[in-house]
Amino acid sequence: MSTTCATEDLEIVDRGPDWLFVRLHPDLDNLDTVADRLWAQLNQHFIHRLVLEMDDVPFLPSRLIGQLVMLQKRVLQHDGALRLCGLSDSCFQALHVCRLDQVLPNYESRQQAVCGCKAPRPR
């Protein structure tokens, strides 16, 4: 399954048992609504576990980091999980500098993100 949301910066790549997989293509004009739009997708699919595939994100502006933190709080309030995969080294370092690399764990692959069994590490 691969569908695109109302805006082109969120692409639902797949839906598995209890997980939604979304590839993020950041649009600098729509960064302030990323959390709301992802939350709407989670609710539409009746899922509160999300893997964000970040392979197409060249850098993490502070507005996008703020949106990810806001989404993480919402997801945790519903006993869900938000995990990242495919972050570039520079994006991982941006999270690390903000001390968010443990709050927003990055995994090498979608499978590792779902499992959560390997220690998160940068790509």
Distance CA 58, CA 6 (A): 22
pLDDT at position 4 is: 41
pTM confidence score: 0.83
Name residues whose C-beta falls within 8 Å of residue 34's C-beta, 6 or more positions apart in sequence: 9, 10, 24, 26, 64, 67, 68, 71
Exposure string for 70-102, b = 16+ CB within 10 A, e = fewer:
ebbebbeeeebbbbbbbbbeebbebbeeeebbe
What are the chain's domains?
A: 3-115 (3.30.750.24)
pLDDT at position 22 is: 94
pLDDT at position 6 is: 41
pLDDT at position 118 is: 61
Q: Which residues of the chain carry a pLDDT beneath 50?
A: 1-7, 120
The identity of residue 79, as a single letter, is D
Query: Residue 103, exposed/middle/buried by CB under 10 A (0-12, 13-18, 19+)?
Result: middle
